[in-house]
Amino acid sequence: MSFSSKVKEELTNKPPKSRHCKLAMLAGLSGEYKTADLSKECCRRAFIKGAFLAGGSVSDPDKSYHFEIAVPTKEHAEFLAGVIKKCGPNAKIGKRKDNYIVYIKDGEGIAELLNVMEAHVALMDIENVRILKDVRNSVNRQVNCDIANTRKTVGAAHRQIECIEYIKEHAAPDFLSPELAEMAAVRLENPEASLYELGQMLSIPLGKSGVNHRLAKLCEIAGDLRGRIEPSPETQGGMK
Ligand SMILES: [Zn+2]
């Protein structure tokens, strides 16, 4: 059963009790809106229910958010949108072939209107879908963010280790200052540690920015060494 039919079934199963509301619902159903007495809130709700039963549809919230009620004239559409507005939700008006449609395209507005129509089972359905979508979106955002951060950290650690190994291979063992040598050793032994964790492993603990500075220095040194040992073609020509 479509979501539309579910809403309609729910509305038909709970017809209004008082005479004024019954008349208002009938006015909505028949389209005889001009003589309807909609001075009471309960009657405005009943009128919207009638109009929806006559010409309304609402898409399955799992797929999209679209609620509409089709009426024959522009005046009728404006009247209906006005009644809906008085109850809270903001409906728009559009034209389709021979009809005018009063429609709502956001989940919050549709939920509000289902509440106005007292379609509480349908309202619960749409709220469940909306909550699920929210949760899914925030989980996805979180996962994407974690992956990006991990990639960044792993990439940086990989570059630092390359630099340190280059220095070890190409420079004398006491080439580095004691602080940098200790930093290099700690980084090599802990390729997956964060900057903060590395800082805590040093004999004199260091904060994130201090660790970052030392690692950058190591990469700078490796770069200098590389330049001296493997000159790029341009500098090779120019130095002679
Ligand atoms: Zn009433």
Q: What is the pLDDT of residues 148-170, one digit of tens each?
A: 888 888 888 899 999 999 999 99
Same domain, 172 and 224: yes
Full-model pTM:
0.62
Q: 15: burial class by Cβ within 10 Å (0-12, 13-18, 19+)?
A: exposed
CB count in 10 Å sphere of residue 52:
26
H-assigned helices in the chain: 3-13, 19-30, 41-55, 74-87, 107-116, 120-170, 178-189, 195-201, 208-229, 233-239
Gap from CA of 50 to ligand 1 centroid (Å)? 13
Cα(231)–Cα(18) distance, integer angstroms: 94
pLDDT > 70: percent of the chain:
96
Ligand 1 mean position to 20 CA, how many Å? 5
Domain at 97, CATH number: 3.10.28.10
**Separation in Å, CA 34 to CA 24, 102, 162:** 11, 17, 81
Question: Given the DSSP bridges, would you call strands 56-58 and 67-71 parallel, antiparallel or unpaired?
Answer: antiparallel
Assess whether 94 and 31 both reside in one domain.
yes
Domain assignment present for 237: no
Average pLDDT (185-205) is 92
Percentage of residues of the chain with pLDDT beyond 90? 70
Q: What are phi and psi of 89, to 5 degrees?
A: -65, 150
Of 126, 154, 173, which residue is a domain's last? 126
185 domain-assigned: yes
CA of 37 to the centre of ligand 1 (A): 9
Domain of 160 in residue numbering reads as: 136-228
Residue 8 pLDDT: 95
